[in-house]
Amino acid sequence: MGKWKEIRISEIGPVFSGSTPSTANSEFWDGEYVWITPADLSMVDVPFVNSSSRKLTWLGVKKATNGLLPENCVIISCRAPVGYCAVVSCDFSFNQGCKAIMPYEKYDSLYLYYSLKMYKGSLERVSSGTTFLELPKRELDRFKISIPLDTKEQSKIAEILSTIDTGIEKTKAIVEKYKRIKTGMMQDLLVNGIDEKGNIRSQKDHKYKDSPIGKMPIEWEENRFDKIAKNITTKTKTMNDCINMDSIESDTGILLSLNDSDIKSDKTVFKKGDILFGKLRPYLRKYWYAIFDGTCSSEIMVFRPDKYITSLYLYYLVSSEGFVLFNDSQTFGTRMPRTGWAIIKEYQAGIPEIDEQDRITDKLLSIDAKIQSEQAYLKKLQGIKQGLMRDLLTNKVAVDALL
């Protein structure tokens, strides 16, 4: 392990401020030169960036404060918000919401990127502003990070962290792939179902019938929501932990936490097997299959399946695109749009027999298991990365020990 030193950012390389050429002059815009903003950085999950939503012409570049900077600079957002960063892998310009650091030859750009990522909270603390935080150039200049003096050691640390990042991005892609597969499966299964042989039906090889909501398999029955589920409104006054809107992760059906209640208030009682659905801003897709008895806030609706539908089938129906869009299209309230039972009860769906419901939910449970497995692995990788950043970027663990 080589020598380390705590040095200012300005010692690693000069810090540049960005600018915006006049947006009123069309000759400056819609060219081929990358012009990076905090909004561009907010959409980057990988260490490198080489594109932007808006681009400059050469005339626009000449109007920019620093013209074009070369590749391998590190760019960081310094307002709205502070701390998004990336290594730029092309020549570029940037706006006043960012600062760019051009590392001297003996400093590794990727190492600097990971250090800035780790110290995001510290950079926010030295920022100032009332409407929004802004990191001044003078504060970024004198901000200190720990760094090995040996460039090869810097590069090796950056390589290890980059390898973990590659695994994270690949796992994210797998999760998104399975989510797309699930979306397509739900569309097929909740509209066409599965026959006795385990095959998804089609109108080519199976009898369908007309209904108010379109064609459906002849065996299915069209039902309003209030015919297949009950709206549970049983209340209790309690200070026990309960489920509220923040407790449920959007679009996953995952319960994140129970929330403390510091006042005794009316809460809705739910039982194991009930389906919870957030009525505030239905597009947030807050739904959960209850795996225990408990209570929830008034912004959560509780549905209990009738004898014609299983709990799992009701859960997938409530989480479906059709159900969410139906409710989102009829919300009331401008500032806090919400749905309610008067709307939800009118939702119509085709309902198969119980045995077919079981075949459908088995398929969906299988793809959910794959998604959850990959999400767990993703969380593990992200934890490993955070641990490695703390250890390697602060010299707590020598990089040689990991080789």
| Domains of the chain, first to last | 4-148 (3.90.220.20), 221-351 (3.90.220.20)
- pTM, whole model, 2 decimals? 0.85
- pLDDT confidence bin for 141, thresholds 50/70/90: very high
3-class SS of residue 51: coil
Q: Is the pLDDT of residue 402 over 80?
A: no
Q: What is the pLDDT of residues 172-216, one digit of tens each?
A: 999 999 999 999 999 999 999 999 999 999 999 899 999 999 999
The single-letter code of the amino acid at 136 is P
Question: Half-sphere exposure of residue 314, counting CA atoms within 13 Å on the CB side?
Answer: 27
The alpha carbon of residue 374 and the mean position of all alpha carbons in its chain are separated, in whole angstroms, by 15
- The answer to whether 11 touches 146, Cβ cutoff 8 Å, is no
How is residue 100 written in tokens? 């760019």
Q: What is the pLDDT of residues 16-41, one digit of tens each?
A: 999 999 999 999 999 999 999 999 99
Torsion sign, CA atoms 287, 293, 295, 298: positive
Q: What is the pLDDT of residues 366-375, one digit of tens each?
A: 999 999 999 9
